[in-house]
Amino acid sequence: MIVGFQQTEVIAAPQSQTATQRMEQTDHIIGDKALIEQFQNENSRHFAFQLLVKKYQTKIYGLIRKMVIDHDDAHDITQETFIKVWNNLAKFRQDAQLYTWIYRIAVNESLAFLNKKRQKYFLPIYDVGKELSGKLDNGGFTGDEIQKKLQKALLTLPDKQRLVFNMKYFDEMTYEEIAEIVGTSVGALKASYHHAIKKIEASVLLDD
């Protein structure tokens, strides 16, 4: 769950009553391997994808929202993430965990969005952070002042370092899981997380 952020559902396709009831009965017990097998069967592909979206959409939206702050942007990027999942899942080789593969797509989409924003307006990292910080003050955040200070401090970090901090601190992922998602060594991730904490502490103290 995202501290202070309001979440929303995405990819909400119309369902017949029978399909909806079937999904409610199945989604809490079906594993990723079975989801992939069902997706590879054309007769159950759409149903399997709806189960997959229902299983992962809140976590993926949360990951993206913490990076781009704005709900509408996060919603659009989440939609784009699952479109890419749909287009590529049939080619998924299962040499990685499904959720880390989906996370990797979401991470790449989030970073691409931030880079595109920076290039479009010729903005340095700091100015993009200031823009996102302004959105926190204008309805993009519902937590208390302490939580808001933390989020603003996070926006002073480089995108990838902020991403690593979010996955470790908020999503409680292991370094090994994060390494599989971002393609960085565990040692480098530990150093990045340690430096992020130092920067956040300094930023929060400076703000006081």
Task: For the chain, give the percent of residues with pLDDT over 90.
Answer: 55
Q: Name 136's Cβ contacts closer than 8 Å, sequence gap at least 6.
A: 69, 148, 151, 152, 155
As a whole number, mean pLDDT of residues 117-130 equals: 64
Q: Name 190's Cβ contacts closer than 8 Å, sequence gap at least 6.
A: 175
pTM of the model: 0.79
- Mean pLDDT is lowest, of 24-38, 73-87, 118-132, 181-195, for 118-132
- Is residue 159 within 8 Å of residue 67, measured between CB atoms? yes
Confidence of residue 151 (pLDDT cuts 50, 70, 90): confident
pLDDT of residue 175: 96
What's at 117, amino acid-wise?
K
- Is residue 4 within 8 Å of residue 151, measured between CB atoms? yes
Between CA 126 and CA 203 the distance in angstroms is 13
Residue 57 has pLDDT above 70, yes or no: yes
Between CA 72 and CA 76 the distance in angstroms is 6
Residue indicated by tokens 């784009």: 80
Residue 12 has pLDDT above 60, yes or no: no
Q: Name 6's Cβ contacts closer than 8 Å, sequence gap at least 6.
A: 71, 142
Query: Encoding tokens for residue 169?
Result: 């601190």
As a whole number, mean pLDDT of residues 124-153 equals: 67
**DSSP SS3 for 11:** coil
pLDDT of residue 22: 45
Residue 185 has pLDDT above 80, yes or no: yes
**Structural domains of the chain in order of their starting residue, each with its CATH number:** 14-122 (1.10.1740.10), 123-208 (1.10.10.10)
Task: For the chain, give the percent of residues with pLDDT over 70.
Answer: 74
Query: Encoding tokens for residue 17?
Result: 């009553």
pLDDT of residue 51: 94
Output Rg (C-alpha) for the chain, integer angstroms. 18
